[in-house]
């Protein structure tokens, strides 16, 4: 069969693949008063922010990749809480339209917690040190 019967259309696969393989970028800020925040941003394969709503499961623990352990308060600051499985421990959150989630963390007297975020069966972790 001659190839002239087919039309080949070039597509921008780079852009398509970058958005199909989103990851999470995590960072935190110590409020220095027993509180802190952990920001979770949806990014593409090269680290650019992806402005879209994204569903993420979040939990906190005393150890990286550990079982959910509660802190004094663990609540959504930016995004939409869809379900709190275990109070102050394990939450399902929908990001805002920019792909951002901000979690407010409180540890009475300060301390360290680890925030885990699960996306597409991948688990990311951020150590959050909070001073009182």
Q: Give domain limits for the chain.
A: 3-130
Closest among 60, 67, 114, 113 to 89, alpha carbons compared: 60
Predicted confidence (pLDDT) per residue in 46-91, tens digit: 899 999 999 999 999 989 998 888 788 999 999 999 999 988 899 9
Residue 28 in tokens: 């935190």
Share of the chain above pLDDT 70, in %: 85
C-alpha radius of gyration, the chain, whole number: 19
pLDDT higher for 110 or 21? 110
> What was the pLDDT predicted at 19?
52
Predicted confidence (pLDDT) per residue in 9-27, tens digit: 544 445 544 556 789 999 9
- pLDDT at residue 36 tops 90: yes
Which one is the CATH code of 3-130: 3.20.20.70, 2.60.40.10, 3.30.300.30, 3.30.2390.10? 2.60.40.10
Distance CA 86, CA 128 (A): 20
């Amino acid at each position: 069969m001659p190839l002239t019967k087919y039309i080949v259309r070039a597509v921008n696969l780079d852009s398509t693949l970058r958005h199909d393989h989103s990851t999470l970028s995590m960072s935190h800020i110590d409020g220095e008063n027993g509180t802190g925040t952990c920001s979770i941003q949806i990014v593409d394969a090269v680290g650019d922010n992806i402005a879209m709503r994204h569903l993420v499961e979040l939990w906190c623990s005393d150890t990286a990749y550990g079982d959910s352990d509660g802190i004094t308060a663990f609540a959504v600051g930016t995004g939409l809480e869809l379900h709190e499985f275990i109070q102050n421990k394990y939450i399902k959150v929908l990001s805002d339209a920019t792909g951002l989630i901000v979690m407010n963390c409180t540890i009475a007297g300060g301390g360290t917690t680890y925030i885990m975020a699960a996306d597409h069966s991948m688990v990311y972790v951020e150590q959050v040190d909070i001073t009182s």
